[in-house]
Amino acid sequence: MNKRLVIVLIFALPLLLLSCQSYTSREGLASIQPLPPLGEEPIITKYSTLQEQKAEKENAILKAQQEKEAALAQAQEKKEWEALQEKLATLNEEKKTLLTQISQLKTAMDKQNKNLETAAKEIAQLKAAQEMFSRQAEGETQEYIQAWNEAQKTISDLTQENETLTLEQTEQKALIDELQSQNEAQAKELSQTQAERVLSALNAEEKYQAALQDIDALTEENAQLNQQILALQTAIEEKENAILQAELLAEQTTAEQTDLLKLAEEALEAERLALEKERMQIPPLSSITFPRIYSTEKESTLSVQGDKLKTIMLPLDDAVWKDPNMANEVFTSIKDLDAPVIFVTGHMENVIALVREMRSDAVLFSTGAIITTFPIIETSDFGVTVQYTDTLRLRLSLANLPQYEVLQAFLEDLDWQTLQKIASEERLNKLETITEEGSLTDPTLMGASLYEPSYQDWSTFSPVSYRQMDYPWPLCEALEQAGFYDTYRVTHFTEDTDAGNTLVTENWKERVDYLFSRKMIPLESSMLTIGGESVPDENNISRFGIFATYLVP
């Protein structure tokens, strides 16, 4: 068997070799191509193929590099264009801000000019009164001088008359002397006829008596004239004294009016300088840094242990006020409450306008302001610590978390619940950051604009139809878990009847602004009308504040 296999293999092996050689030769012959003539197609070799591949690779690399450089240049141009657009938008915003500030400064200057015009009118009225008084005093002085001249003329006439009477009296005395001489002469002539002597004596006696009577009458008339002269001199002296007193009074009144005018001008200038100094503490909103302390000349105060602490929460409009008198209206509506702690939220332009209008110490934050009369010890990103009494400190925190999408979706009957749940995580984290500031041992007040209702206000028993569900609004519940009490809810009987709405529209009436307290006792609270903010605006939106009192143990 093995021999047969060996023989078969001996004959098969040469046949196999012959057949392989014949196939290989035919295939090789078919694969050989004649060389192309010179000057026609290039000879393709392994080297030329490698060179061509290398050239194609380099061209591809060059093309890719060129495309990359073109893409980079295009991206750079796009980036520069976007930067220019962003810069242009920033410049436009800054321009709008500057225009707004210029408008506000112009309004303030107009108001200041009106005050100066009013003061100028008052000064003009005082000057007019002064001139009228001076003219009146001058007129009285002229009357006194005229009376003095008339009295002097009367005295002169009386003196002249007195001199005439004295001359007549002298003549009468001379006549008496002459009669006496004649009587003596007649007495010497008694030796003449007795009858003639007696008759002459009688005639002389009669003339003598008549002369004596004339002398007595003239003497009495002279005495009366002297009394009249004395009375006129007394009257003239009284007139002179009255004129002197009137002149002194006029000088004194003029001096007092001048001093009053000077004091009024100095007070106006001091007021203007103080106002300008206070306004310079707050730079333009585009360049302001927070927190920023706003100081005034008002003295800080301390409370006494056991006193009630008054507090106000003021949610202002989120859009810039169009009415320049809105800040004054808001301040006027709360001024009589005399609260030493006021929380303010809203657009920062409105917040700054109110702080300047109130002219009280305050701390500005990016979300609002805290206005207080207590001494400020330290500030942080979301609040301040103040000295409440000699031995007790008080923490004041501010939370402003605007959220418009949920409200808008609710009003448009969209899926607002899904939006609310998506936004809750970030809002809860922000609220936690605010509550963790400050010491946990200090009594704490928080003013908060959360832009969502309290979960306590929504229940199946609510008289408001859209609230008739137990919806878990999370922010108020998170604050309660952090140890805070909702002041309005604690101090009112039931959420079903005492809703305390702070944001009111045509289809939405909710309590979205709050006062929370920790380690303090809420005593009472009420809704607060805040000037023009509580009047429906062009979008039919009204805002209301909260006024509350606390006891700090």
What are 139-191's pLDDT values in tens digits? 655 665 665 666 567 666 766 766 776 676 676 666 666 656 665 665 565 55
Q: Distance between CA 362 and CA 331 in Å, rounded?
A: 14
Strand 383-387 relative to strand 376-379, pairing: antiparallel
pLDDT of residue 22 exceeding 50:
no
Residue 38's pLDDT is 45
Could you tell me if 528 and 543 are in contact, meaning their C-beta atoms sit under 8 angstroms apart?
Answer: no
pTM of the model: 0.56
Write the pLDDT tens digit of every residue in 204-217: 567 667 766 767 77
The verdict on 120 and 256 lying in the same domain is yes
Residue of 342, 346, 330 lying closest to 373 (CA atoms): 342
Domain annotation covers residue 69 = no
From 228, 249, 279, the end of a domain falls on 279
Sheet holding 485-486, edge to edge: 376-379, 383-387, 393-400, 444-449, 513-518, 485-486
Residue 57 within any structural domain of the chain: no
Task: Calculate the CA 175 to chain-centre distance.
Answer: 102
- Give the count of beta carbons closer than 10 Å to the beta carbon of residue 507: 9
Q: The CATH number of the domain where 144 resides is what?
A: 1.10.287.1490
Does 286 fall in a domain? no
Cα gap 417→471, rounded to integer Å: 9
Asked whether residue 1 is domain-assigned, the answer is no
391 burial (CB, 10 Å; 0-12 / 13-18 / 19+) is exposed
Tally the domains of the chain: 2
Query: 25 falls in which pLDDT band (50, 70, 90)?
Result: very low
Residues in contact with 460: Cβ distance below 8 Å, sequence separation at least 6, in sequence order: 468, 469, 470
Domain final residue, candidates 244, 279, 314: 279
Rounded to whole angstroms, the Cα distance separating 179 from 441 reads 129
Q: What is the pLDDT of residue 541?
A: 93
Q: What's the confidence (pLDDT) of residue 29? A: 45
What pLDDT is attached to residue 226?
73
**Is residue 41 domain-resident?**
no
The answer to the question of residue 498 being in a domain is: yes
Q: Average pLDDT in the 487-510 region?
A: 87
Return the pLDDT at 208.
Answer: 64
Q: At a CB cut-off of 8 Å and minimum separation 6, what does 304 contact? A: 389
Question: Where is the domain boundary, 279, 314, 343?
Answer: 279
d(CA 364, CA 289): 9
Taking only the tens place, the pLDDT of each residue in 309-347 is 999 999 999 999 999 999 999 999 999 999 999 999 999
Which range marks the domain in which residue 306 is found? 292-551
Are 354 and 498 contained in the same domain? yes
State yes or no: pLDDT of 388 exceeds 70: yes
**366 and 509 share one domain:** yes
What mean pLDDT value characterizes the chain? Answer: 81
How many other CB atoms are there within 10 angstroms of residue 488's CB atom? Answer: 27
Q: Tell me how crowded residue 547 is: count the other CB atoms within 10 A of its CB.
A: 20
Whether 393 is covered by a domain: the verdict is yes
Crossing angle between the packed helical segments 416-435 and 474-481, to the nearest 10 degrees: 30
Q: What is the SS3 string spanning 373-395? A: CCCEEEECCCEEEEECCCCCEEE
Cα separation of 517 and 496, whole Å? 22
Mean pLDDT of 10-33: 51
Q: Residue 320: which residues within 8 A CB-CB, separation 6 or more? A: 100, 347, 349, 350
| Residue 147: per-residue pLDDT | 59
Question: Domain check: are 161 and 250 in the same one?
Answer: yes
* Whole-number percent of the chain with pLDDT over 90: 42
Q: Are residues 336 and 443 in the same domain?
A: yes
